[in-house]
Structure 1
Amino acid sequence: MTSPEDLRIQVARDLRRRLRGDVEFDDVTLQLYATDAGLNQVVPLGVVSPRDTEDVVRLVEYCAGHGISIVPRGAGSGLAGGAVGAGIQVDFTRYMNRILEVAPDGSWARVQPGVVMATLNEHGRNYGTFFAPDPSSENYCSLGGMIGTNSSGARSVAYGGTIDHVLALQVVLADASVLEAESRPVERLVGPELVGPEQVRSGTLAATLPHQVLPLIDAHQGVIRDSLPCVVKNCSGYRVEAILEDTPSGQVAHPQRLFVGAEGTLGLVTEATLRLVPLPRRRGIAMVYFPSVFACGEAVPAILALRPSAAEIMDARFLALVRRHDSRVDAMLPPRTDTALLVEFEGDDEGTVAQKFAELERQLAGGPALGVVRARDAQETARLWAVRKSAVALVLRMPGPRRALPFIEDITVHPTEVAAYVDFLQRLFDRRRVEALMYGHVGDGNIHTRPLLDPKDASDLSTMQALFEEVFEYVRGVRGTMSGEHGDGLLRTPYVKDMYGDDIYSLFCQLKRTLDPTGLLNPGKKVALDETSPTAESRSLLKNLRYGPAYRTFPQRPVLHFSGEEYEREIEKCHGCAQCKSVVATTMCPTYKATRREQASPRAKANLLRAIISGRLDPLTSYGQSAVKAVTDYCIVCGMCAVECPSRVNIPKLMLEAKAKYRAVHRGDRTERLLGHPENTYRLMRRFAPLAGWALQNPTSRCLVELVTGIDRRRTLPSVARRTFADQARGARNGGRIQVAYFYDLYANYNDPPLAFQVVRVLEAHGLGVLLPPQRPSGIPEMLYGYAQEAARVARFNVESVLPAVTSGATLVSAEPTATFAFKVHYPDYAPTRESSVVAEATRDLGEFLVRYRSDHPDLSPAARALQGPNSPRPLRIAYHLPCHLKAQDIGSPGRDLLAEIPDVEVIDLAAGCCGMAGTFGLKRDTYDFSLEVGSPLFDRIREVAPDLIATECSTCRLQISEATGLRTVHPVTLLAQSYGCG
């Protein structure tokens, strides 16, 4: 009998011979795909990332022949477990992520399923159109996933759901036949037209749709009309009511809609033609305030009569969270405010929108509303929307063991039932003594409710089950649906039969058996594996949970400083929401953006570590395994995810810990030892500076350098100065009181002493006394390569060296973002002392320090405040790049702000993400090309802007950008020094 492991090896070998895409069946990858953004966890047999439809066809052929199930997956951002399962997961986002065609007028687009919605809308803006369904996950959710769950969002009250905008689908069915499904009169649904250019192959599933599936649905029209939920939107079960339409000219079939909301259980979507609609010319929003959530619900029907484009509710607990996050919200809320409703109107012009708001105020006059406050400008509009869209981030960031769990988060009732439903919920939570948050799309009755429960506590999980049962019975009684836009998945499928009743559920089962006779496609979703009456056990929400009462962690001994159980808790803070897989709108994660590999995402790092600490991967040996290192190597510790992650998971620190654990077992190869100890390398190069300089510039010798060091021969390296900055300048630079201790770091010391002198002169121009304390380079390379002991020694030395100046009142300043990042963030982890914390508090980036100093000292001398513009006939156009390690400090863009003060200078903020260099990452032969790929969006933006020069604080960013674009790239302080006449 074949063992599971032997089967896995054989299947992987077979598929690699058949497919062009990636086939990954290793233990580490399987753990990364065992969860999505919901509560469930199931380890798959393997993961396939197909390159095209032909790959999908071959995969289905193989799986059908071997009885292996298939689970389609987009971003993995779903909350109901729709993208997890025990078969082969098909990740469409890696390769099948192209926009294939757009109509000349922008009215439709043909796309692959892995395209991110925001990418399509970014493209659509060129035509003045957009894809109207707008889930809050639009920056990272895939269009295939949206089709699978009939996704929608805040504006579905005006635009409908995904099903209303799908014009045609290409679908691979369970027998590997390819169906081209689009709307057409029923009498024209003959084989060749339906399945594409090839003749219908007798007996294929594609050929059965017009002859079996559509007649089956037609025969049940009466039952469908009588039994479906009475709601505006629904994605539970199959959307059988939307397939056939009676028109004056005859019956029209919409076969593509059968696959919308089906969660991949009837076929795998490989292409979609989607309707794009014109962008509204004007939008306006207002906040309406109510004394209770019930009062808000009562006002909904009157508000909907005005045809808003969005109506979003936020309850008292949600508003309390927002208040803590943003104190400005308090000023917006009238006294006694318990609930807020965000209302948006669209129109062709400002007058139309203003008229709608006037009507809104008239409708609410004398009613339960406490007030209506309209956004006055685009900035205020963005802030009000940010309040609502902060829901997920704030919910996920709540401290403590109890979490805002998604299991009744997608209940939808008719808008006229909203008031009664929220009243029921409040009474239920009071009776059960459960805290919960309510927010969501009140305009279409879709209320996102998140009870606060501990997913590891048996009592809380029992409460979770009981809450769902009570809510389910209530919603069924008012003909609502348990899922408006998130899907059934593993979580809710056991309840589909009870929600719809026997007749409709029987139709669902017949559809599934007709199009997927062997249960190949995403089994256990939509239709239960056991089609008989669900038992109490099968109806439980508590199966296949990520945590649960049996969840345990193995004791860990971190290398870095983590207090108590902080290491485990930090790992478990990741909810898997997939926001770190955004490809637009955020700067995290540059390596994921370049590769689209799940392994590169910050979420994958947390999933990997959770698998280790919980024992699903060996907690004793896994950290030293190459497969684990392959995942951690994708992290370049840019720090972006720590800033932008909704849960604020400190992935950079966790990755430094993992790298240190690996290095404790493996000493490292020659390249890692060389780049991980740069100070030793520079000292050696200084001894042979002329020879080293020649070798680094000579093409032939660079080949030898690559062979010996692993540094790519194509990389242009800076020459090493014969005399370091430290050799040329020691001690205090003037006789006044020392106010600044300058940390110059590796590059300025060894490669660019003139830059260090410019820093000192600019500080002195402000009347500041400057101290140059003894120092070693920041230690970041040691950290990145896992040499934790060496990094700790560096941290202790530098802290002890600058401490006397800091305790005397001086500020520690560096012009190198990586150095200030090390002092502020990393040193307390490697040298966890009170002194490290004191120095961290006193550390400032040079630009950060100067902006604050100039603001705090309005009495600066005219010479200190006056900046001279460049001597050029036209304004100098400077493109500014904000380095990752500066952005990670969350201090804004002080370098850009200082440049903007220079007369006759135009500063263009590139805002295009990481350059890809990541310290020494871009030096290595193995990662040189990848580093340029990571930085390509930035380089494209620079070419588009065509500046005179580029300014950025990071030394390695300057190397990368200059080499990639051929443009002069300088530190902002160089331009400041020139403007002071001391450059």
Structure 2
Amino acid sequence: MTTDSAARPTTARSEGGSRSTTAYRALENDLRAAIGGEVRFDAGSRAMWSADASNYRGVPIGVISPRDAADVEAAVAVCRTHDVPVLPVGSRTSIAGQAVNTAVAMDFRTHMDAILSVDPDARTATVQPGAVCDAVRDAGKPHGLTFGPDPSTHNRCSIGGMIGNNACGSHSVAWGKTVDNVASLEVLTYRGERLVLGGDGTETGAIPDALRALGARVADDVEKHVPELTRRVSGYNLDQLVPGNVNLAKALVGTEGTCATILSATVDLVESPPARALAVLGFPDAYHAADNVMIVREHSPLTIEGMDAGLIASLRALRPNETTSRMLPEGKGWLYVETGGATRAEAEAAAQAVADAMRAYTTGAVVVGEPARMAALWKIREEGAGLLTRSPEGGEAWPGWEDAAVPPERFGAYLREFDKVLEDHGRKGIYYGHFGDGCLHVRIDFDLLSKPGVQNFRDFMTAAADLVVAHGGSLSGEHGDGQARAELLPRMYPPQIITAFEDFKGIWDPDDRMNPGRVVRPATMDENLRVQLGMPTMPDEPKLAFGHDRGSFHRATRRCLGVGKCAVDTGSGVMCPSWNVTKEEKHSTRGRARLLFEMANGEIITDGWQSDEVAESLDLCLSCKGCKSDCPVGVDMASYKTEFLANRYHRKLRPRSHYSMGALPRWLRAVGVLPAAAVEGVNRLAQVPLLAKVAKKAGGIDARRAIPPIARETYTARAARGLPMSTVPDLGVAPGSRGPLLLWTDTFTDHFDPEIAADAVAVLTGLGYRVELPPKNVCCGLTWTSTGQVTAARRVLARSLRAIGPALDAGIPVVGLEPSCTAALRSDAAELLPDDPRVPLLARQVSTFAELLARHADELSAVAGTGNGAALVQIHCHQHAELGSEPDRAVLAALGVDATVLDSGCCGLAGNFGFEDGHYDVSMACAERALLPALRAADETVDLLADGYSCRTQVRQAGEREPVHLAQIAYRSLRG
């Protein structure tokens, strides 16, 4: 059976993305009338859904989010009436291009994400297609069960997407692929047939009958030409149609949305060991790691994952402050071998047995059973796809050939020959993967921007396909064929199998309207390349340096690969706070990056820097910088927002908040020269309701925000007058014996919390430093930077560097008390003044208060002793992103403080963000995710340690308790 319309052109397919939205106005109107879920045909939504995590781009006709199965049926009926294609999508983290197409994209993550039931006796769970993998695993946990497949995107990928791709993950050695864990499916065809497919093969009707007939016809060819391989994902599952082995539900797994739409799925659950441990084995190189997987498999582990030294080198270069990789044993290639047991001791014993058995083959081994350390090690492996996408100097690498699989006993030989193919084509790749199943993940430095580069890409892909086939492998080991590899299927399968694939598709979708051009009659691997179709049309003359992207804003817009870590539904974590509150794609880092990419291209987002779609998306970006550190690719949306605002308002009237809060240091300096009584008068006037209302309206401040009181006198003014400060604790160190130290007197500490500076100076003086202050007012320019006033920020920072220049030139350490200002000096300065010779000195000489105190932990411990109270610690998001918090933890331990570091993410105030009109609700919702509930649950004697002024202000205005700075805790602890 073949399609009856495969060759005929249609309006939707022949004109596709070139048609304007108005051409589909009737379709849009009919969909709005038919379904209760959202219908989005706007330019912004189409731009955000135009890419997945692959190299490809396909602008959808529109995006719909059905609320239930009835919505799905109604939507498909409308699409059928209009003869337009349909593309079911989940989290859109597909790497082969199967989640983008010129079709009506049906988004299942927004509403249809429920776990309908869990049957612990049958060991099954019935879920909607948008249910996230980890949610299913969590549902089974109370019963000692889990869903076996767990891709590295397990905390965001959907079950529907996993079924579409036949996803696997790290535990496939123990529990197989998704196809091995599907019990039944409820599906809907494009023509409206609704079927329930079980595992007994007894379904009746035209489609089941035709499928069984196809299986009988191709049984001999399947036996001869479809390899028996644990990681065979390429092509359709014809082996599930062979007489004696018919399972129509499993046959539909891995069809990539090309056959039917999943309405619900019943999946098998497996017993999950109560405890797990990890044996990390070191080898001379990745080849030797691959050579030894069969020996490790004899121990029946849960996981055998591999990594190459190149991945660790990339990690350390991109994140110099990370410490997890130090746990790895000696070697240049590693295997992660996970074991299970009834207890932690039993699991660790099993892991130790693996390490002992492999002693003759390894360069070292480490056994880890502590859950937090295991999670940290797994994070390296799980973020490999993102880590290897960019080099520290901005070099780009791409997927395309990233998950081929061969029999594991041939993996070492395959790896050596694969490197030769890379060398022959002038390419470089760093790899990792599911070594225990012979599956290799790699990112390769393809040149996809030039015609010769694309031809080289084609040549390499063809040669790599032939190598895999020669080893009896599969072009895809878990990510599917999509557009990346479907063209190569005839190199893996003979013509009669390819014809059978076409017949399989034709039985399900005779109109060829389900995700057309994928698997069967595919688009070629070099069509629809995102960087080719999305070539920028705007000038590339950024106002920031974009040093990590070789000075190119356009290159920065390509940094997002769509891995979706920013769209993880959690109650904690730093990235991405606005998405976690609104759950809207346009408020995720990924959604914003897609809009910026399309803005630079100009096809869908046509207004450039004046785009309202981009402005609306960026409006709720808190510039928290969480994405800069937590996104595996290092997308820095705070910088992108600055660049956008700088260009959007260039020589134009700005929002009121840019003039008020963007220039806040200037206004505070003006108030700071007033007598203390006059400052107190200003504070009283700010509390008069009518005056406060007028002032907030004029400054673009939300009416629900209180104007923070200004200190009667700044610390710098008191110091200049020689007034008494905090008493210096006696730490047994001679005054000034450790030489000079410059305290960066930031605007916020100086004008709002000068007592913090006083306590900090006392502690530093007690440690033997001669604390000096800058000769003039200094400012890092952050408020101007975050509001896109780059020229002003550059001028402010340059003036400050001139003020402290002699101290920098003399090698004097500089200590900051405000994390956002300290982070700005260490990182943003290079974006504002890349050619200033003193900027590199900032990166070397500026430290946080905690970093300096950590050098004297033993001295602090000797004086402070133990039992100095308890504290909840709110890490400022800029500190998390740029500076790290290990020194803070070390200092608190040395001070005898029982500290609990909150995994609360951004407090929600984020500088000017939470004060700006229209942001209050989102700001407070961010605080309510973790921070404020944790405070309410804590005993009133527990301190909230918040070094960031924004964090302290958010807590103060929420009325929870008066927060403290590390300097205050240190002073109190050392003074007894």
Compute the TM-score of the two structures, normalised by the length of structure 1. 0.84
Q: Deviations over 1:546-601 (max 9, x none)?
A: 23599566542222235664444333344333333344585222222223333233
Query: Does the CA-based 8 Å contact 1:632-1:659 persist in structure 2?
Result: no
Q: Deviations over 1:340-392 (max 9, x none)?
A: 444333333577657766875787687xx355624255377567655644633
Query: Does the CA-based 8 Å contact 2:233-2:479 persist in structure 1?
Result: yes
Question: 1:309 deviation in Å?
Answer: 1.9
* CA distance, structure 1, for counterparts of residue 81 and residue 411 of structure 2: 49
1:590 paired to 2:577: yes
Match of residue 526, structure 2, among 528, 542, 565: 542
Q: Secondary structure, in 3 states, of the residue corresponding to 2:483?
A: helix
Match of residue 233, structure 2, among 235, 242, 266: 235
Q: Deviations over 1:106-128 (max 9, x none)?
A: 95444443343344445655554
Match of residue 821, structure 2, among 807, 819, 822: 819
The residue that corresponds to 1:303 in the other structure is 296
Q: Deviations over 1:495-529 (max 9, x none)?
A: 33553434444443333233323222211112226
Question: 1:225 deviation in Å?
Answer: 3.8
1:951 paired to 2:948: no
- The change in CA–CA distance for 1:496 and 1:349 in structure 2 (over 3 A counts) is same
The residue that corresponds to 1:753 in the other structure is 754
Query: Does the CA-based 8 Å contact 1:643-1:890 persist in structure 2?
Result: no
The residue that corresponds to 1:455 in the other structure is 448
Match of residue 795, structure 1, among 794, 797, 801: 797
* CA distance, structure 1, for counterparts of residue 117 and residue 962 of structure 2: 38
Q: Which runs of 5+ in 1 are unaligned?
A: 191-206, 530-537
The residue that corresponds to 1:845 in the other structure is 848
Question: 1:15 deviation in Å?
Answer: 3.6
* CA distance, structure 2, for counterparts of residue 363 and residue 957 of structure 1: 51
Query: Does the CA-based 8 Å contact 1:72-1:92 persist in structure 2?
Result: yes
Match of residue 543, structure 2, among 549, 555, 559: 559
The residue that corresponds to 1:887 in the other structure is 880
Query: Does the CA-based 8 Å contact 2:113-2:129 persist in structure 1?
Result: yes
Match of residue 153, structure 1, among 169, 173, 177: 169
Question: 1:478 deviation in Å?
Answer: 5.0
Q: Deviations over 1:400-459 (max 9, x none)?
A: 787543333222223334344335434444544544444322322222344443222433
Q: Which amino acid aligns with 2:720?
A: R
Match of residue 712, structure 1, among 688, 702, 711: 702
* CA distance, structure 1, for counterparts of residue 533 and residue 61 of structure 2: 25
Q: Secondary structure, in 3 states, of the residue corresponding to 2:802?
A: helix
Match of residue 927, structure 1, among 905, 910, 919: 919
Q: Secondary structure, in 3 states, of the residue corresponding to 2:406?
A: coil
- The change in CA–CA distance for 1:347 and 1:811 in structure 2 (over 3 A counts) is same
Q: Which amino acid aligns with 2:841?
A: V
Query: Does the CA-based 8 Å contact 1:28-1:608 persist in structure 2?
Result: yes
Query: Does the CA-based 8 Å contact 2:389-2:398 persist in structure 1?
Result: no
The residue that corresponds to 1:36 in the other structure is 52
Q: Which amino acid aligns with 2:655?
A: D
Query: Does the CA-based 8 Å contact 1:802-1:812 persist in structure 2?
Result: no
Q: Deviations over 1:887-911 (max 9, x none)?
A: 12233244444333344x4221112
* CA distance, structure 2, for counterparts of residue 105 and residue 684 of structure 1: 72
Query: Does the CA-based 8 Å contact 1:167-1:256 persist in structure 2?
Result: yes
The residue that corresponds to 2:3 in the other structure is none
Query: Does the CA-based 8 Å contact 1:581-1:592 persist in structure 2?
Result: yes
1:513 paired to 2:500: no
Question: 1:958 deviation in Å?
Answer: 1.9
* CA distance, structure 1, for counterparts of residue 327 and residue 780 of structure 2: 43
Question: 1:692 deviation in Å?
Answer: 5.6
Superposition pairs for residues 736-747 of structure 1, below 5 Å?
A: 739-747=740-748
* CA distance, structure 2, for counterparts of residue 784 and residue 400 of structure 1: 24
Q: Which amino acid aligns with 1:848?
A: E
Match of residue 866, structure 1, among 858, 863, 867: 863
* CA distance, structure 1, for counterparts of residue 929 and residue 144 of structure 2: 23
Q: Which stretch of the first structure deviates more once superposed, 354-363 or 714-723?
A: 354-363
Question: 1:815 deviation in Å?
Answer: 1.9
Match of residue 611, structure 2, among 615, 620, 625: 625
- The change in CA–CA distance for 1:57 and 1:918 in structure 2 (over 3 A counts) is farther
The residue that corresponds to 1:196 in the other structure is none
Q: Which amino acid aligns with 1:491?
A: A
Question: 1:104 deviation in Å?
Answer: 6.9
Question: 1:642 deviation in Å?
Answer: 1.5
Q: Which runs of 5+ in 2 are unaligned?
A: 1-10, 726-734
* CA distance, structure 2, for counterparts of residue 550 and residue 929 of structure 1: 36
Q: Secondary structure, in 3 states, of the residue corresponding to 1:834?
A: coil
> Identical aligned pairs, as a percentage?
27
Q: Deviations over 1:56-91 (max 9, x none)?
A: 333222211112212233332221101111122233
Q: Secondary structure, in 3 states, of the residue corresponding to 1:141?
A: coil
* CA distance, structure 2, for counterparts of residue 64 and residue 549 of structure 1: 28
The residue that corresponds to 1:674 in the other structure is 660
Superposition pairs for residues 325-364 of structure 1, below 5 Å?
A: 339-348=333-342
Q: Secondary structure, in 3 states, of the residue corresponding to 2:267?
A: strand
Query: Does the CA-based 8 Å contact 1:743-1:775 persist in structure 2?
Result: no
Match of residue 182, structure 2, among 151, 161, 166: 166
Query: Does the CA-based 8 Å contact 2:736-2:765 persist in structure 1?
Result: no
* CA distance, structure 2, for counterparts of residue 809 and residue 34 of structure 1: 51
Q: Deviations over 1:723-771 (max 9, x none)?
A: 4444444277899698333334333333333334333333334343333
- The change in CA–CA distance for 1:676 and 1:98 in structure 2 (over 3 A counts) is farther
- The change in CA–CA distance for 1:403 and 1:546 in structure 2 (over 3 A counts) is same
Superposition pairs for residues 326-725 of structure 1, below 5 Å?
A: 339-348=333-342, 369-371=361-363, 373-375=365-367, 377-378=369-370, 385=378, 388-389=381-382, 391-398=384-391, 403-497=396-490, 499-528=492-521, 540-548=524-532, 555-562=539-546, 565-583=551-569, 587-614=574-601, 616=603, 622-664=608-650, 666-679=652-665, 682=668, 693=683, 697=687, 707-725=697-715
Q: Deviations over 1:893-930 (max 9, x none)?
A: 44444333344x42211122122111121123411111
Q: Which amino acid aligns with 2:758?
A: F
Q: Secondary structure, in 3 states, of the residue corresponding to 1:908?
A: strand
Q: Secondary structure, in 3 states, of the residue corresponding to 1:569?
A: helix
Query: Does the CA-based 8 Å contact 2:152-2:382 persist in structure 1?
Result: yes
* CA distance, structure 1, for counterparts of residue 408 and residue 842 of structure 2: 57
* CA distance, structure 2, for counterparts of residue 110 and residue 944 of structure 1: 36
Question: 1:694 deviation in Å?
Answer: 5.2
Q: Which amino acid aligns with 2:158?
A: S
Q: Which stretch of the first structure deviates more once superposed, 110-119 or 100-109?
A: 100-109
Aligned residues: 934
- The change in CA–CA distance for 1:624 and 1:437 in structure 2 (over 3 A counts) is same
* CA distance, structure 2, for counterparts of residue 625 and residue 558 of structure 1: 17
- The change in CA–CA distance for 1:877 and 1:275 in structure 2 (over 3 A counts) is farther
* CA distance, structure 2, for counterparts of residue 769 and residue 487 of structure 1: 63
Query: Does the CA-based 8 Å contact 1:31-1:607 persist in structure 2?
Result: yes
The residue that corresponds to 1:201 in the other structure is none
Query: Does the CA-based 8 Å contact 2:399-2:442 persist in structure 1?
Result: yes
Q: Which stretch of the first structure deviates more once superposed, 439-448 or 731-740?
A: 731-740
Query: Does the CA-based 8 Å contact 1:590-1:934 persist in structure 2?
Result: yes
Query: Does the CA-based 8 Å contact 1:592-1:601 persist in structure 2?
Result: yes
Q: Which stretch of the first structure deviates more once superposed, 496-505 or 699-708?
A: 699-708
* CA distance, structure 1, for counterparts of residue 935 and residue 223 of structure 2: 57
Superposition pairs for residues 82-121 of structure 1, below 5 Å?
A: 82-103=98-119, 107-121=123-137
* CA distance, structure 2, for counterparts of residue 321 and residue 543 of structure 1: 30
- The change in CA–CA distance for 1:425 and 1:747 in structure 2 (over 3 A counts) is closer
Question: 1:940 deviation in Å?
Answer: 3.7
* CA distance, structure 2, for counterparts of residue 80 and residue 339 of structure 1: 27
Question: 1:660 deviation in Å?
Answer: 0.9
- The change in CA–CA distance for 1:712 and 1:18 in structure 2 (over 3 A counts) is farther
Question: 1:292 deviation in Å?
Answer: 6.8
The residue that corresponds to 2:6 in the other structure is none
Query: Does the CA-based 8 Å contact 2:21-2:61 persist in structure 1?
Result: no
- The change in CA–CA distance for 1:507 and 1:255 in structure 2 (over 3 A counts) is same
